[in-house]
Amino acid sequence: MAARVSLRTNLAGIQLPTPVLAASGTFGSGRELAGMVDLREVGGIVTKSVTPRPVKGMPTPRMAETPSGMLNAIGLQNPGVEAFVEKDGPFIEQAGVPVIVSIAGRSVQEFAEVAVMVSKIRGVVGIEANISCPNVERRGEVFARDPVAAADVLSTVTRMTHLPVLAKLTADVTDIVEVAQAVVRAGAHGLSLINTLLGMAIDVDAFRPRLGGVTGGLSGPAIRAVAVRCVYEVSQALPDVPIIGIGGVVDARSAVEFLLAGATAVAVGTANYFDPHATVEIARGIGEFLAAKGMSTPEDLRGRLVTPSRPQEPVYLGG
């Protein structure tokens, strides 16, 4: 007997029609794609990160394809929060899809500024703090690489808004669980795991980096195993904290990997570029998967991972 499947998902109090969102920086705010993708079928959109003032961004080339992935160095180009509120605000209000605004800044104060502004947009259902930004007050050290700085941002942002706030973390740290615990203690309502990995590629004919920004963010299926591991580690340590799993989700099976690892929802990044309907098709695929397994909601997958009892002694896992 086939179970009745419902994809509706509660993510830190945010109601989503499906557990498949579009990841920040890979779907705009939905405006550009609205003519082609029926946004009502998208689980949610996390907007491109917005900063207090306009950012011109990095010189080109801004992307390089790599094996099963890509590098990008956009440099957070965005028109600034004022222009965002003006241009994207009206769109978001009537978009018919839950919109989470990604905010970024170079100081705690800047995060606070943007949080206040975007909270006023009707239709915005949550804030994602993209703390993979350099902190100008600490020699450019990335917030997300320092539990204290990361917690500072989250405690401030959560005080500045009535909306649920997700902290987006990077895997480029020694201990992602430590950072996760710090931001959750600071008030984060949920976590987005993970941002791109810091990488670099070189044009061996030109003797130049393939990116204008020299280094950039690695995304796509290439990083999926790292992302699944991060979600698993964090959800084992913080089983009650809702997590958006991000990194190389390209189909329903890769999405289910994240749900089994402990995520409440997933966000699709790079796959939107080659498959603009990815969020829609993956949600459909998850529905079929659940039906085939006799399950009724994505929530049924959480915690269902069967792991062998781990040995008592620490073991080497690198090879």
Partner 1 sequence: MNRQKCEVLSAKRWGVYHSITLVAPEIAEEARPGQFVQVAMPPGRDFLLRRPFSIHQASRTGGWAGTLEIAFTAVGPGTEWLTTVEAHDSLDVVGPLGRPFPLPRAPTNCLLIGGGYGAAPLYFLGQDLRAKGSRVDMIVGAKTQERVFKPVEAKRLSVSVSTTTEDGSLGERGNVTDVLPGMMARCESKVVYACGPNGMLRAVAEYCSEQGIPSQVAVEELMACGMGVCWTCVVPVVHRDGRGWSYERSCYEGPVFSGARVWWEKWLGGRSTPVQTPPEGFRLEEMTAEGVGTWPPG
- Which residues, including other chains, have CB under 8 Å from residue 300's CB and lie 6 or more apart? 290
Tell the burial category of 221 from Cβ atoms under 10 Å away from its Cβ (0-12, 13-18, 19+).
Answer: middle
Q: Mask of contacts with partner 1, 1-30, x by CB under 8 A?
A: ------------------------xxxx--
| Sign of the dihedral through C-alpha 8, 249, 104, 189 | positive
Cβ proximity of 16 and 299 under 8 Å: no
Tokens of 24: 């920040």
Cβ proximity of 123 and 95 under 8 Å: yes
Cβ proximity of 35 and 299 under 8 Å: no
**Among residues 219 and 264, whose Cβ is nearest to partner 1?**
219
Q: Is 35 in the site for partner 1 (CB under 8 A)?
A: yes
Q: Which residue in the set 9, 18, 102, 161 belongs to the binding site for ligand FMN (CB under 6 A)? A: 102
From 11, 133, 250, 266, the catalytic residue: 133
Euclidean distance between the first and the last CA atom of the chain, given in angstroms as a whole number? 44
C-alpha–C-alpha distance, residues 150 and 130, integer Å: 10
Cβ proximity of 160 and 112 under 8 Å: yes
Q: Give which of ligand FMN, partner 1, a second copy, none residue 122 binds (C-beta under 5 to 8 Å, depending on kind).
A: none
Give the nearest distance from C-beta 60 to partner 1 in angstroms: 6
- Residue 133 designated active-site: yes
Q: Is 302 in the site for a second copy (CB under 8 A)?
A: no
Q: Is 33 in the site for ligand FMN (CB under 6 A)?
A: no
**Among residues 43 and 217, whose Cβ is nearest to ligand FMN?**
217
Q: Is 83 in the site for partner 1 (CB under 8 A)?
A: no
Tell the burial category of 198 from Cβ atoms under 10 Å away from its Cβ (0-12, 13-18, 19+).
Answer: middle
Q: Is 74 in the site for a second copy (CB under 8 A)?
A: yes
Tell the burial category of 140 from Cβ atoms under 10 Å away from its Cβ (0-12, 13-18, 19+).
Answer: exposed
Given the rule CB under 8 A, which of 58-66, 99-107, 115-123, 182-190 is the region that contacts partner 1? 58-66
In one-letter notation, the amino acid at residue 18 is T
**Among residues 9 and 26, whose Cβ is nearest to ligand FMN?**
26
Identify residues 142-181 at the interface with partner 1 (CB under 8 A): none
Identify residues 94-153 at the interface with a second copy (CB under 8 A): 104, 106, 130, 132-136, 139-140, 145-146
Q: Is 18 in the site for a second copy (CB under 8 A)?
A: no
Given the rule CB under 8 A, which of 12-20, 65-73, 173-181, 236-244 is the region that contacts partner 1? 65-73
C-alpha–C-alpha distance, residues 133 and 150, integer Å: 10
Q: Give which of partner 1, a second copy, ligand FMN, none residue 61 binds (C-beta under 5 to 8 Å, depending on kind).
A: partner 1
Given the rule CB under 6 A, which of 178-186, 228-236, 241-249, 256-264 is the region that contacts ligand FMN? 241-249
- Helices (H), ranges, 33-126: 81-93, 108-119
Q: Which residue in the set 106, 145, 168, 189 belongs to the binding site for ligand FMN (CB under 6 A)? A: 168
Q: Give which of partner 1, a second copy, ligand FMN, none residue 35 binds (C-beta under 5 to 8 Å, depending on kind).
A: partner 1
C-alpha–C-alpha distance, residues 282 and 290, integer Å: 12
In one-letter notation, the amino acid at residue 204 is V
Tokens of 203: 């044009």
Residues assigned a catalytic role: 133
The residue ranges that bind ligand FMN (CB under 6 A) are 23-26, 48-49, 72, 74, 76, 102, 130, 168, 195-196, 217, 219-220, 223, 246-249, 268-271, 318-319
